[in-house]
Amino acid sequence: MSAVTLDHITKTYDEGKVLAVDDITLQVEEGELFGLIGPDGAGKTSLFRVLTTLLLPDKGSATVRGYDCVKDYKEIRKRIGYMPGKFSLYQDLTVKENLDFFATLFGSTIEGNYELIKDIYEQIKPFNDRRAGKLSGGMKQKLALCCALIHKPEVLFLDEPTTGVDVVSRKEFWEMLKRLKQQGITIIVSTPYMDEAMLCERIALIQNGKIMSVDTPANIMAAFPVKLYAMKADNIYKLLTALRGMPEIDSSFAFGEYIHITLKDDNIEALRQKVEQQGHTHVDIKLIHPGIEDSFIRLMNQA
């Protein structure tokens, strides 16, 4: 049995004027760490809200642990943990009070599932008596995660848990998710960051409410259909403008100090000569393995 299934789910707002989720079909297996990757406004939050029974879908059906998201919403609410994208704890309550409150609300106690949150909670424990509103961004996320975990949910929904969190805290956060996965909890996490996609077992790339691809990150990268080159020269901006005007270039994007390009005819030597003739100096071209970001951009342009 899949932990979560979505069957032709469509969700619109403003009486059908705004299409947020467009006919999505998807399965997430038991115990999986599943990533929903897409830019802002792709429909990630809407999808989460349908699954967490907060919104009714316009069309299609969805289940969580076999329970229907519309009919059996009460059963689902007993079994899931949800961490909304916006920090949603009581800012005027202390760390301890927040945790206590949510534990009791879910019919649990801090002691009861302490093992589950121990690693995370130990880090914010020194600030037990500090009000949640006065915590730093990373600590807030940790507290929110503790609150979502305190009742040992079967499926955990994390909506952009690392947005606005510093790099170190983000890394720590993902370490925690891996440990939680080992406890057998199914985790569905959404993120706009491509580097985090690599940390998921399987990912779905989502854009404009549509799923473009669902697979393991490795498979998605391996499925890159053409050769990818990284290119640089002394004046990178001039090079990029020049490349964009060339008919043989299929795609070109700036990636840090390099420009990632794909060609229509795969004649890279011809391109090198052409570029050098145009007066670009220190031209460096190498064949590279596509990253998840390259795959995403390619899929996005095809759509």
Residues that bind other proteins (CB under 8 A): 49, 52-56, 73-74, 77-78, 80, 82, 84, 86-93, 97, 100-102, 104-107, 147-148
Closest separation in Å from C-beta 188 to other proteins: 14
Closest separation in Å from C-beta 65 to other proteins: 14
* CB of 83 or CB of 261, closer to other proteins: 83
How far CA 166 is from CA of 137, 169, 171, 256, 277, in Å, comes to: 8, 5, 9, 20, 44
Question: In this structure, are strands 33-37 and 202-207 parallel, antiparallel, or unpaired?
Answer: parallel
* CB of 75 or CB of 119, closer to other proteins: 75
| Contact between residue 143 and residue 89 where contact means Cβ atoms under 8 Å apart | yes
Closest separation in Å from C-beta 71 to other proteins: 13
Closest separation in Å from C-beta 9 to other proteins: 15
How far CA 248 is from CA of 125, 236, 237, 262, in Å, comes to: 59, 19, 19, 9
Quickly tell me which residue has 């995403």 as its tokens. 296
* CB of 34 or CB of 106, closer to other proteins: 106
User: Over the Cα atoms of the chain, what is R_g?
Assistant: 23
* CB of 107 or CB of 245, closer to other proteins: 107
Dihedral angle computed from the Cα positions of residues 153, 3, 119 and 199, in that order, rounded to the nearest 10 degrees: -150
> Per DSSP, which regions of the chain are E strands?
2-13, 18-29, 33-37, 59-64, 67-68, 80-83, 155-159, 186-191, 202-207, 210-215, 228-232, 249-255, 258-263, 284-288
Closest separation in Å from C-beta 60 to other proteins: 16
Question: In this structure, are strands 33-37 and 80-83 parallel, antiparallel, or unpaired?
Answer: unpaired
Closest separation in Å from C-beta 186 to other proteins: 16
What is the spatial distance between Cα 291 and Cα 207, in angstroms, rounded to a whole number?
A: 18
Residue 130 is classified by DSSP as S
Question: In this structure, are strands 186-191 and 33-37 parallel, antiparallel, or unpaired?
Answer: parallel
* CB of 94 or CB of 207, closer to other proteins: 94
Closest separation in Å from C-beta 126 to other proteins: 21
Closest separation in Å from C-beta 221 to other proteins: 34
How far CA 88 is from CA of 46, 65, 101, 214, in Å, comes to: 17, 25, 13, 30
* CB of 87 or CB of 253, closer to other proteins: 87
* CB of 98 or CB of 207, closer to other proteins: 98
* CB of 93 or CB of 240, closer to other proteins: 93
